[in-house]
Structure 1
Amino acid sequence: MHCGACTITLQDVQVQLGLPIEGMLVTGTTDIDYADVCERLLGRTLVGDDIIGCKLKVEWLERNVPAIDDDNDEESVQRYIRSYILQLIGGCLFADKSNRFVHLMFLPLLEDFQIARQYSCESACLAYLYRKLCRGSRAGAYEVADASILVQLLACDRLPFTAP
């Protein structure tokens, strides 16, 4: 391929992830009390080192949000769904290098699911990928691991000769 022939576009993200391409921008504030937000939206209190700055350990989500069954009320189901979506965000869409943390700035966006479905998640994923690739291309950078899932998906789809 010649220079510029291969780049990841918004259409690629839509095809690979199947997320909404049109809608409201994913924005928010990081100047909030995340312990309060977690208690209100996930039904659990954060203690100790489960939260570091604005990031929550994904392990905490796995430990503290119980599975749902037929007897759960609507609020319990919504808490479980928020936890599951946060795990997807932290482990796949907006992953950090360790895959151990999820940024809590996404949690308030999941308060109302009718509004949450209107966000353009794909454009946020693509912007995040470009930001991480830019940081990874700087002199002295040793790895680009944060947003590599999109690069890997594109390589498997568009460059099949690179992997079986």
Structure 2
Amino acid sequence: MIERWRPETHTFHLCTGKATITLQDVEVIYGLHINGQALYRVEPPQLSYPQELTRLTDFVPYQRNVRGRSWLLWSSLHAHLRLVHLQHPISEAKPHVDVDRCARLYLLIIFGVIMFPNTSGADMSMRYLLFIKDLDQLGCYSWCAVVLAYMYRGFDRASMGERLEVAAFSPLLQVETFSAHICSPSQWLCC
């Protein structure tokens, strides 16, 4: 797929024609919001990312699982969640603050491993903590645009030789996503 990607137009040039993934595809397939506040790179938290993680979730990562300033070995977070779920499963009786902490941990995995992965396959960014501080604001962002832009950036880098692998939300590459956007050769200029 990387060989067929054209970064100038953000399209795949396939033998059947040009194809692309649009905001509407992401919205329809995954239910992510198109409209909403833009997500942008924000300043790091006052605390370090591991300290912010602990403040928001009560999860204290081992130093050996923290990489650089903002990267975490995601399997350590997964192991922690399994242990917490076994010892203290979420129930009606669980305090709201504990449910929020657990939700932030799951969201961090969803963002850092699934929606915005990196090419290492082992690390995840803790920068998404800044967007999940206030869970009530989570639905106000245009996640659709960010996921699509992240995918475009991943394919651009890989197609230009900057990266050997693509870091993108890979379910977007399902064949049925393309089917609505295949153009005939006479329509290639409008794709």
Task: Indicate whether the TM-score tops 0.5.
Answer: yes
2:26/2:144 contact within 8 Å kept: yes
Q: How many residues align?
A: 156
Among 23, 28, 31, the residue aligned to 2:36: 23
Residues 1:52 and 2:67 are matched in the alignment: yes
Among 167, 170, 183, the residue aligned to 1:149: 170
Alignment gaps of 5+ in structure 2: 1-15, 180-191
Q: Which residue of 1 aligns with 2:7?
A: none
Give the Cα separation in 2 of the matches to 1:135 and 1:73: 45
Shift of 1:69: 2.6
**Worse-matched range after superposition: 114-123 or 93-102:** 93-102
Shift of 1:101: 2.2
Larger Rg: 2
1:26/1:119 contact within 8 Å kept: yes
Q: Which residue of 2 aligns with 1:12?
A: 25
Among 90, 93, 96, the residue aligned to 1:69: 90
Q: Which residue of 2 aligns with 1:158?
A: 178
2:90 alignment partner AA? D
Q: Which residue of 1 aligns with 2:10?
A: none
TM-aligned CA distance change 1:84 to 1:139, over 3 Å:
closer
1:99 alignment partner AA? G
Q: Which runs of 4+ in 1 moved over 4 A?
A: none
SS at match of 2:136: helix
Alignment gaps of 5+ in structure 1: 160-164
CA RMSD of aligned residues (A): 2.1
1:22/1:119 contact within 8 Å kept: yes
Query: % of aligned pairs identical?
Result: 26
SS at match of 1:117: helix
| Higher share in strand | 2
1:90/1:100 contact within 8 Å kept: no
Q: TM-score, normalised by structure 2?
A: 0.73
TM-aligned CA distance change 1:141 to 1:77, over 3 Å:
closer
Give the Cα separation in 1 of the matches to 2:162 and 2:144: 29
1:55/1:102 contact within 8 Å kept: yes
Q: TM-score, normalised by structure 1?
A: 0.84
Give the Cα separation in 1 of the matches to 2:148 and 2:99: 30
2:65/2:72 contact within 8 Å kept: yes
Q: Which has the higher contact order (CA 8 A, sep 6+)?
A: 2
TM-aligned CA distance change 1:101 to 1:139, over 3 Å:
closer
Shift of 1:29: 2.5
1:13/1:150 contact within 8 Å kept: no
Residues 1:134 and 2:134 are matched in the alignment: no
Structure 1 residues 30-84: Cα deviation after superposition (integer angstroms, max 9, x where no partner):
5331122111111122321221121122112212231233232111101111111
Give the Cα separation in 2 of the matches to 1:132 and 1:117: 25
